[in-house]
Amino acid sequence: MPGSTKNPPLTATTIRHAEPTTEIANSSPIAPDLAVLLTHEDVDRARDRLQVARARWKGRKSKTWGGVRLLWLLVGPGVLVFLGENDAPSMLSYSATGARFGIGFFIPFVIFTFAIGVVVQEMTVRLGAVTHRGHAELIFDRFGKFWGFFAMGDLVLGNFLTLVTEFIGVRAGLGFFGVRPIVAVGGALAIVVGAITTGRYWTWERITLGLAIFNGLFIPAAILARPDWFAVGHALLTWSPLPVGNRGEILLLILADIGATVTPWMLFFQQSAVVDKGMQPRDIGAGRFDTILGALLAATFGVAAILATAPLFHHGINAADFQAAEFAQALEPWIGHLGAALFALGIFEAGIVAAIAISTSSAYAFGEVFQTGHSLNRPLRDAWPFYLTLFGSAAAAAALVLIPHFPLEFIVLTVNVIAVLAMPPALAFLLLLVNDRELMGEHVNGMWANVLGVAITIFLIVAGLGFAVATVFPAWFSGERL
Amino acid sequence: MNPKNLSAGSNGAPGESAGVESAAKPDLKDPRVVLSLLETDQVVASKRQSRFGRRPLSLGIRILLWGLRSYVVIMLVIVAIAVIRALHPTP
């Protein structure tokens, strides 16, 4: 058990192989040294832990309300990561899916991808709660700089391209209402800055959760599309009708829909957020609930986007080259101005929440790798490189979107596909870390988690190889069925 | 607050102590209260001075990592081909 290790006196040279511990710091022999070194971050984290401790204590008197209060306090990283991943390019992928293939195979398939997401993200909850280290930090510590920088390369490239697409979504979503691009993008950047300058993880998390819940705007948009609920039920039960069309195009949408649910930034973000939130091994159950809740909400909203755009399929409208605003405009005759406006607002929301989450993910990873302060509980003056990375990545992505004639289409086309292709190595690191008994102690992966983890990795590799073959030999995929 | 109250969880569980749970207004300016709420390696100073060491990478793991790295590089080339074709479709 990790907690069984005794800590040596705290000096720079003694603790080379830190063991995660479940000992409380106050009873540790190094407590006197720690007490004089406590930071603002520690105090804020302790404040959050105090709320959790009180909720647990009250929960012993009133199981129901105590449990609800406890979950309210511990929910956050899982919901944010999944609603953050229901970002602008993801919602556009779902919209393209609904417009191209209507109600059928893709509805259960999207739900299936979220089930994959739950399996993977649950491992990051355990890693964060047990080791109290972020994902990037653990990769660098356990595999060294060589492999660490490779993993970071994938993350930085994927994150930056995705961030650009978020601002494309913001611009396009507000463009439906006639808002000028510079105002839309500038306003979004101001919201990102507003969320990060609170100096408290808790406040940041609640603001972002408050924004993220507007991902649900796709539900009224879907209802206004008056979907055939019998067809929805049939699709859920039978995974049919199968998509008909160019196989290469179908494969690309499959890959884009997988990339809309499982991506490397999610691993880095959720683990770092779990650490920043101060979760401990005893919170793992709540962390699992948080992850499943996030996946359920995101899957519902993703399916809603498919249902909202299904009228375009039924009326034979070619949506192949549609971007966000075009989807909303094209939907207006079928779901009304209100429905189209909700759809456009949903795309705007998806972009802004993901911009906050992804830029935070980049900043966490930067801080962990370069060992600078990396917590939203730190004031700006204490952790300016962290906040500068966060703001800088968001600002650079926002600026690119405003450059006239910049090939934005190039980025939109590639972002979800790159996410899927970069996922197998990220999953390999994740599986190696979560099976590392020296790190995880009793919380190492069980057999079924490993079976599922390896199966998911193989599935993603096969999907990627299918995409490669379809690209190099398009003639092989010119058939009309999957 | 008596630090003894902070040193052991009420149910034997670590991390959060009975003293803090039941106290009306624990003073977070008291470092002992802060330490009682956190695990040892949750404290920033402790994390800064302790790192997990490198794990030995077996030949199998190195082959796996190199294989997956090669996969990503090849796939990025494929993506570039796909994008060029999408942006400049042949008539």
For residue range B64-82, list pLDDT tens digits in order.
Answer: 999 999 999 999 898 888 8
Nearest to A221 by CA among A296, A332, A324, A321: A332
Report d(CA B29, CA A256) in Å as an integer.
Answer: 50
Q: Is A246 on the interface with B (CB under 8 A)?
A: no
Task: Assess whether pLDDT exceeds 60 at residue A2.
Answer: no
Closest B-chain CA to A48: B37
Report d(CA A204, CA B45) in Å as an integer.
Answer: 24
pLDDT in tens, A24-51: 777 777 777 777 788 889 999 999 999 9
Answer CATH for A75-477 from 3.40.50, 1.20.120, 3.30.70, 1.20.1730? 1.20.1730
pLDDT in tens, B6-46: 333 333 344 455 455 545 577 788 888 888 899 988 988 88
The strand pairing partners of B39, in sequence order, are A24
Predicted pLDDT of residue B90: 66
Report d(CA A401, CA A420) in Å as an integer.
Answer: 23
Looking from the CA of B10 toward its CB, the CA atoms found within 13 Å total 14
Predicted pLDDT of residue B19: 52
The strand pairing partners of A24, in sequence order, are B39
Q: Show me where the domains of chain A are located.
A: 75-477
Closest A-chain CA to B79: A414
Of B47 and A151, which is predicted with more confidence? A151
Interval A225-241 mean pLDDT: 94
Interval A253-257 mean pLDDT: 84
Report d(CA A383, CA A21) in Å as an integer.
Answer: 26
Whole-number CA gyration radius for chain B: 27
pLDDT band (50, 70, 90) for residue A13: very low
Q: Is A428 on the interface with B (CB under 8 A)?
A: yes
Size of interface A-B (CB pairs under 8 A): 212
Contact state of B34 with A413 under an 8 Å Cβ cutoff: no
Peptide bond into A8 cis (omega under 30): no
Q: Show me where the domains of chain B are located.
A: 3-48, 54-91
Least confident range from A233-242, A250-259, A313-322, A438-447: namely A313-322
Report d(CA A433, CA B79) in Å as an integer.
Answer: 29
Report d(CA A364, CA A371) in Å as an integer.
Answer: 10
Task: Assess whether pLDDT exceeds 50 at residue A146.
Answer: yes
Contact state of A142 with B52 under an 8 Å Cβ cutoff: yes
pLDDT band (50, 70, 90) for residue A327: confident
Q: Is A280 on the interface with B (CB under 8 A)?
A: yes
**CB-CB contact of A201 with A48 (8 Å):** yes
Global confidence as pTM: 0.88
Angle between helices B59-87 and A423-434 (to 10 degrees): 150
pLDDT in tens, A347-399: 999 999 999 999 999 999 999 999 888 899 998 888 899 999 999 999 999 99
Q: Is A168 on the interface with B (CB under 8 A)?
A: no
Contacts of A319 (CB under 8 A, 6+ apart): A95, A96, A99, A100, A309, A312, A326, A327, A330
Interval A63-81 mean pLDDT: 90
Contact state of B52 with A278 under an 8 Å Cβ cutoff: no
Among residues of chain A, what percentage have pLDDT more than 70?
Answer: 91
At B55, the amino acid letter reads: R
Report d(CA A386, CA B44) in Å as an integer.
Answer: 15
Chain B residues touching residue A278 (CB < 8 angstroms): 38, 42
Report d(CA A300, CA A186) in Å as an integer.
Answer: 30
3-state secondary structure A320-372: CCCCHHHHHHHHHHHHHHHHHHHHHHHHHHHHHHHHHHHHHHHHHHHHHHHCC
Contact state of B87 with A407 under an 8 Å Cβ cutoff: yes
Residue to test with chain A: of B5, B75, B83, most A Cβ within 10 A: B75
Task: Assess whether pLDDT exceeds 60 at residue A246.
Answer: yes
Chain A residues touching residue B51 (CB < 8 angstroms): 15-16, 18, 141
- 3-state class (DSSP) for residue A2: helix
Residue to test with chain A: of B20, B52, B79, B84, most A Cβ within 10 A: B52
The strand pairing partners of A481, in sequence order, are A244
Q: Phi/psi of residue B2, each to 5°?
A: -75, 120
Task: Assess whether pLDDT exceeds 80 at residue A162.
Answer: yes
pLDDT in tens, A421-467: 899 999 999 999 999 999 999 999 999 999 999 999 999 999 889 88
Predicted pLDDT of residue A455: 95
- 3-state class (DSSP) for residue A20: coil
Predicted pLDDT of residue B11: 39
**CB-CB contact of A401 with A161 (8 Å):** no
Task: Assess whether pLDDT exceeds 80 at residue A20.
Answer: no
Contact state of A133 with B64 under an 8 Å Cβ cutoff: no
Q: Phi/psi of residue B39, each to 5°?
A: -80, 155
The strand pairing partners of A244, in sequence order, are A481
Token readout for A243 is: 């998509």
Predicted pLDDT of residue A218: 96
Task: Assess whether pLDDT exceeds 90 at residue A184.
Answer: yes
**CB-CB contact of A282 with A78 (8 Å):** no
Chain A residues touching residue B47 (CB < 8 angstroms): 18, 132-133
